[in-house]
């Protein structure tokens, strides 16, 4: 799969026809998850295939001429290499401390949801543990990106901005949670339509692509029931985002606004945390 993405990155250099050809060359990478064994391996390969393709879209739309090495680095990077600050390699103590702390809570919550909850606490405990697991998984991943980036001589842009402090769903999804994906969706889905005066359509397209991304990963790893749950969760987030504007949530007192943001993500979260627990269950089973 990596070889396919590297080849596609090199092909996309040049004319519009070559750029289109590069995207076609990358399509076989989407078959990689289906030759892997186990939900976790399939999920990771599905995410890598989708995100490698997303980075190819960056290269296809990039007006600057990048050399072969820069193109390969970009397509294999999780973060946008164009936004990295290149610095002398070093050890980011804060990032690795974040990884250590978050990974401990991640594994504890995973064990609680998968192993403990069937015997004590039932579904409420499983769903609560699932929320903690997803949050800590995201924090662990963010810390790894910062820590590994610094070791390689790159200071990467923020991945999370304290999502738990969000005062609205727009604040949560647009300014705080998974900013790596958010920046890509903003650049390639929202901004092109917003510049044409169709901001609402741009927001809808960004959420549609987000639904496709997450359901694709779950579809590669689990069954149709889990796919439908995931699609329902992200579709519901789109609906709640649409109504919070007319509700003027941003003008609410801070406690009420934060309750809205937390409630809008946590209450329907079992639709998403259940598939995530099933994917990573093998870590503690």
| Co-location of 172 and 220 in the same domain | yes
Tell me the pTM: 0.91
Among candidate residues 141, 159, 177, the one where a domain is terminated:
159
Under 8 Å between Cβ of 269 and 233: yes
Among candidate residues 43, 76, 109, the one where a domain is terminated:
76
| Co-location of 9 and 70 in the same domain | yes
| Co-location of 29 and 59 in the same domain | yes
Span between the terminal Cα atoms of the chain, in Å: 28
Domain carrying residue 71 = 2-76
Residue 118 domain-assigned? yes
Residue 283 domain-assigned? no
| Co-location of 148 and 165 in the same domain | no
The count of structural domains within the chain is 3
Inter-residue long-range contacts of 235-243, CB under 8 Å, 24+ positions, other chains counted: 235/211, 236/268, 236/271, 237/169, 237/173, 237/207, 237/264, 237/265, 237/268, 238/204, 238/207, 238/211, 240/169, 240/264, 241/169, 241/170, 241/173, 241/203, 241/207
Distance CA 278, CA 110 (A): 10
Among candidate residues 159, 185, 208, the one where a domain is terminated:
159
Residue 11 domain-assigned? yes
- Kindly give the confidence (pLDDT) of every residue in the chain, 285 residues in length, as a single tens digit, with 9 standing for 90 and above: 889 999 999 998 888 888 889 899 999 999 999 999 999 999 999 999 999 999 999 999 888 878 888 899 999 988 999 899 989 999 999 999 999 999 999 999 999 999 999 888 888 999 999 999 999 999 999 999 999 999 999 999 999 888 989 999 989 998 899 999 999 999 999 899 988 888 888 888 888 898 899 999 999 999 999 999 999 999 899 899 889 888 999 889 999 999 999 999 999 999 999 999 999 999 997
């Amino acid at each position: 799969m990596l070889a396919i993405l590297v080849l596609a990155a090199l092909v996309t250099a040049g004319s519009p026809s070559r750029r289109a050809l590069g995207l076609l060359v990358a399509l076989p990478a989407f078959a990689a998850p289906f030759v892997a064994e186990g939900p976790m391996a399939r999920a990771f390969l599905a995410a890598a295939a989708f995100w490698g393709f997303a980075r190819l879209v960056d290269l296809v739309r990039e007006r600057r001429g990048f050399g072969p090495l820069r193109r390969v680095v970009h397509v294999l990077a999780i973060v946008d290499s164009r936004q990295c600050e290149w610095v002398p390699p070093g050890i980011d103590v804060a990032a690795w401390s974040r990884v250590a702390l978050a990974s401990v809570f991640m594994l504890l919550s995973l064990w609680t949801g998968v192993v403990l909850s069937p015997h004590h606490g039932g579904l409420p405990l499983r769903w609560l543990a699932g929320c903690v697991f997803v949050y800590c998984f995201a924090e662990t991943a963010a810390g790894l990106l910062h820590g590994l980036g610094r070791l390689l001589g790159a200071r990467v842009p923020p991945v999370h901005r304290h999502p738990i402090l969000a005062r609205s769903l727009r604040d949560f999804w647009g300014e705080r949670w998974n900013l790596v994906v958010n920046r890509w969706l903003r650049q390639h889905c929202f901004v092109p339509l917003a510049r044409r005066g169709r901001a609402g359509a741009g927001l809808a397209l960004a959420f549609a692509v987000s639904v496709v991304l997450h359901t694709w990963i779950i579809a590669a790893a689990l069954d149709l029931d889990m796919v439908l749950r995931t699609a329902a969760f992200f579709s519901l987030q789109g609906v709640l985002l649409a109504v919070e504007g007319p509700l003027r949530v941003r003008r609410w007192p801070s406690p009420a606004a934060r309750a809205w943001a937390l409630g809008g993500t946590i209450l329907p979260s079992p639709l998403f945390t259940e598939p995530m627990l099933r994917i990573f269950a093998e870590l503690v089973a």
